[in-house]
Chain A
Amino acid sequence: MSTTLDMAQLDLRAVNTSLQAAAKAQANDEFVIENPRGSHAMACGLDGAIRVTVNGSTGYYCAGMNQEAEITVTGSAGPGVAENMMSGIVTIEGDASQYAGATGHGGLLNIKGNASSRCGISMKGIDIVVHGNIGHMSAFMAQKGNLVVLGDAGDALGDSLYEACLFVRGEVKSLGADCIEKEMRPEHIELLTDLLARAGADAQPQEFKRYGSARRLYNFNIDHAGEY
């Protein structure tokens, strides 16, 4: 059963309280949010299996700390969407602003449009698929998880990267410190095939290049002092 919550009538706190209660009850309910009007912290802190469709665009920190819930935003999302996500699926039909999926531990963040700067900064296990382009300093200090970009990447991709895998189909404007192109081995093709299928992305894994850490920076080495 689908419940509609209209933000022309309900304030943000009432909407989030309803969503969080349903998530906690593991009710597996479906909600539609109308008139989000760019509100901040929309559908954040959900920790159970519910499905939420936000009809419109959201502001800062939509779907933050998500766990198990499936959240779709039909418009664009402001800064910090799905920040620190643990699990579940967050889909943005439009664009995402800066630091999408920052510090995310798990789950899938599927951005159908472009993501701007610092996408996946300090990601810790989340999978992020961006169907368009990403901005500068994306995957900065990314520790674990996968970032897949069907379009182009901006400056300093993967700066100070740890063990996250980055896959880019288009151009990379520049690589950050200690980020290098790496060989696409069969296990990466397999991983990427699965990610592209889960994101409903129309692309072949063979079209992508893989980037990862050269592992020269993340243990302090006095000989590399100039690079820190």
Chain B
Amino acid sequence: MCGIVGLFLKKEELRPQLGDMLTEMLITMTDRGPDSAGIAIYGDETEGVIKITIQSDTPNEAFLGLDGRLSAAINKPVGIKVISTHAVLTVPADTETAAIAFLEENGLRIMGSGQSMEIYKEVGLPEDVAARFDLRGMGGSHGIGHTRMATESAVTTMGAHPFSTADDQCLVHNGSLSNHNQMRRTLARKGVFTRSENDTEVGAAYISSRVAEGATLGEALEGTLEDLDGFFTFVAGTKDGFGVVRDPIACKPAVMAETDDYVAFASEYRAFADLPGIDGARVWEPEPATVYFWER
């Protein structure tokens, strides 16, 4: 069991409230997933600049002077924003590959990268994880979150969701995949590598490899129905919105709500209870084996 939440705002003026609304939804899903929590938030972006979110178990030492060292390594200016165990580094887009290589060589864990996406995830109760990163204070256009009750791979930061395997793309998952080791090998032969032992990361890598090969996100999500074996409700985030797909058996719950102000996704209706205008929202259960997508 795990909990998934997603929120896509239709109105610009609601952006400052995104973190607060999403955090409330995330905490409500604690009893579906009390061991870890994470959120991907799509916020401000600057043309030509990439944000790399990293994590360290020893942030005081690891992040001290890191921007200077990275700047010297890539020979370009670097910005840094430290939030608890995470830091968001901003680098010129053409130095992204070199910057990520430098960070990994220096023992830092890459949570994700992209023009607008930032990822924060840790082991612990969703409430504590949200407080640690002050998720409530974060603004943005849309975001997805996950509360984890581990069934595959260890309870670690790297095992927490969302998983990001390409710029501005991420995935959260309720369920379990049974052919993830085979798919991991298939992807590795194509040069697509994952960072953890987790099944969901393979799902994320599958989707981003299909997109890299030219598929639309909708086609890639449809591909999961053919190529991934197991139980899943997936929510995939991109720079422009999010997509939802459930496996054909659809035993993992999902509910959606839409008003003039937002589209919301959750594992259970409870997560919607505090959303403004929910009493007048259109609420429905996404159909099995059907891809839904919202984008700006």
A residues near B (Cβ < 8 Å) are: 37-40, 56-60, 75-76, 78-79, 94-95, 97-98, 116-117, 135-136
Contact = CB atoms under 8 A, between A and B. Distances in A.
17 contacts: A38-B270, A38-B271, A39-B270, A40-B270, A57-B269, A58-B269, A60-B268, A76-B269, A78-B268, A79-B253, A95-B285, A97-B255, A98-B253, A116-B250, A135-B250, A135-B288, A136-B250
Contacts of A78: 253, 255, 268-269
A38 B283 contact: no
A41 to B, nearest CB: 12
B62 interface: no
A57 B256 CA distance: 13
Nearest to B251: A98
Contact of B288 (A59, A76, A94, A136): A136
Given A78-B253, A117-B288, A94 B283 contact: yes
A37 B251 contact: no
Interface in B261-275: 268-273
Contact of B285 (A56, A58, A116, A136): A116
A37 B288 contact: no
Q: Can you list the 8 inter-chain pairs with the closest CB atoms, starting with the nearest?
A: A38-B269, A38-B270, A37-B273, A57-B269, A116-B285, A59-B270, A59-B268, A38-B273
Contacts of B284: 95
Interface of B: 248, 250-251, 253, 255, 268-273, 279, 283-285, 287-288
Contacts of B268: 38, 59-60, 78
A178 B199 CA distance: 37
Main secondary structure, interface of A, reads: loop
B21 to A, nearest CB: 15
A201 B272 CA distance: 30
B253 A97 contact: yes
Contacts of A98: 250-251, 253
Nearest to A117: B250
A60 B255 CA distance: 12
A107 to B, nearest CB: 24
Nearest to B278: A57
Contacts of A116: 250, 285
A33 B255 CA distance: 22
B270 A76 contact: no
A114 to B, nearest CB: 8
A184 B270 CA distance: 43
Contacts of B253: 78-79, 97-98
B283 A57 contact: yes
Nearest to B271: A38
Contacts of B255: 78, 97
B100 to A, nearest CB: 41
Contacts of A37: 270, 273
Contacts of B272: 38
Nearest to B286: A116
A203 to B, nearest CB: 23
A227 B272 CA distance: 44
A205 to B, nearest CB: 29
Nearest to A7: B273
Contacts of A135: 250, 287-288
Nearest to A56: B279
Contacts of B248: 136
A149 to B, nearest CB: 16
A8 B198 CA distance: 39
A56 to B, nearest CB: 7
Given A59-B270, A98-B253, 15 more contacts: A37-B270, A38-B268, A38-B269, A38-B272, A38-B273, A39-B270, A56-B279, A75-B283, A76-B269, A79-B253, A98-B250, A116-B285, A117-B251, A117-B288, A135-B287
A11 B237 CA distance: 35
Contacts of A38: 268-273
Contacts of B270: 37-40, 59
Nearest to A60: B268
B252 to A, nearest CB: 10
A74 to B, nearest CB: 10
A131 to B, nearest CB: 15
A97 B255 CA distance: 9
B267 to A, nearest CB: 10
A59 B269 CA distance: 7
A95 B283 CA distance: 9
A97 B270 CA distance: 14
Contacts of A57: 269, 283
